[in-house]
Amino acid sequence: MGNLAAAGFGALASLVVLAIGAWLQAKRERRHWLRDQTLRGAVDYVTSTRYLLNKYWTVGEQGMDQDDRREWRRTMQVSRSTLTLLCTARTVSLANDVAEALYRLGPDSDKAQHTAAETAFRNLVRQLRKELGSPQLGG
């Protein structure tokens, strides 16, 4: 009878350890998935925003191919939604600052507006690196 109780206790302990292991594995997979989704959204946002910042500064919204412009803005908006859902409030605020600075740019923009947009962009990239745990926090 004692052996049966010990075997039952061993089986129960094994099930508990198995359940804890499965829970920890699921938690780790979720953390990796969230980081991957955040990274994908960050890359898309940074890429599309950089492209639009450069184009808005050189030729302005009206000088761009409008289909191309719409596609880049669509990518920017989708990735911005991803950042809004997955990132901290600080990151979302900085992404909004970049978007607002972008909309103020044009070929007739002065140097201060261009500098403000570039500063907002650099601040966002720095925050994204921090949030994603990048070792390249220097700039």
d(CA 7, CA 3): 6
CB count in 10 Å sphere of residue 12: 10
Q: What is the pTM of this model?
A: 0.77
Please answer whether residues 72 and 51 qualify as being in contact, where contact means their C-beta atoms are separated by less than 8 angstroms.
yes
Take residue 14 and report the two structure tokens written for it.
């094994």
For 104-137, the pLDDT digits (tens) are 887 788 889 989 999 999 999 999 999 998 776 5
For 57-88, the pLDDT digits (tens) are 777 777 788 889 899 999 999 999 999 999 99
d(CA 69, CA 73): 6
